[in-house]
Amino acid sequence: MIHDTKMLKIASLLLKGGLALGLVLGATSCSTNPFDEGYQAVSGLPPRKVKNPSPRIIEVPAHEHEKAVREQISQGAFLIGYSEKRSQESISVEQARLFAIKKNADVAVFSKEFTGNSTQYQAVPLKSEKIENQKNTKHTNSSTRTSIGYREYQLPVWLHRVSLLRFPDNYMPPPPPTPTVKAPPKKAPVKKAVAKPKEEPVIYETIKTIETTKEFKPKISGDP
């Protein structure tokens, strides 16, 4: 935990402070690698006798450079050096790989970003005229006067960064994360349709009352 805190502070100072070393436009250095100029080493690990011929190269966007360094430090790596370079020529990731081998690093975090255009001026001859200065009849001196103009160029400027990290000799890499298998979504229980009871037909009975009327006649004697 102490190691992580110390290395993270160093990384933040280097990355957020924006090193002013080596920020020179153009390839003015005669070194074999463009990152040699302005390289700042960070002590913390003893020198290693056997170099790592195949360091891991992590190329990230410029705004994710510090995050990538922090991730490597959290896994046990030590920041051993840092360099950044402004140039009108784009530096390839291959240069970062060769630089990591040269400095005996296990990991190199590399990023580059376009920072704008640089205005350059080039002198251009516009007009020349010959001027004769006659001092006497026997000797004549002549000279040429040339008008000079300037042509403006807009050249791109790139900011390249490389952070070098190394793991201790007795370092054991953490096991790869176990892939999480998502359980299939639970299906909602299907409601069974409940059969409706059959409706018995309703029989309506109509009772008709038939009334009969019987005419009453008085019985007269002599009638049958």
Q: Give me the numbers of helices (H) and strands (E) for the chain, helices first please.
A: 3, 5
Mean pLDDT of 50-60: 91
In a domain, 38, yes or no: yes
Contacts of 52 (CB under 8 A, 6+ apart): 100, 101, 104, 105, 106
Q: Is residue 25 part of a domain?
A: yes
Binned at pLDDT 50, 70 and 90, residue 54 comes out as very high
Q: Is residue 220 part of a domain?
A: no
Residue 223 lies in a domain: no
For 167-208, the pLDDT digits (tens) are: 987 766 566 667 777 777 777 777 777 777 766 665 555 555
Q: Which of 110, 105, 108 is nearest to 52 (CA)?
A: 105
Structural domain harbouring 100: 2-115+156-166
Tell me whether residue 127 is in a domain.
Answer: no
Closest to 38 (Cα-Cα) out of 83, 80, 79: 83
* Banded model confidence at residue 35, pLDDT cuts 50, 70, 90: very high
175, part of any domain: no
Query: Does residue 198 sit within a domain?
Result: no
- The pTM assigned to this predicted structure is 0.54
Number of domains in the chain: 1
Instruction: Report pLDDT digits (tens) over 141-173.
Output: 666 777 777 777 788 888 999 999 999 877 665
Residue 75 belongs to some domain of the structure: yes
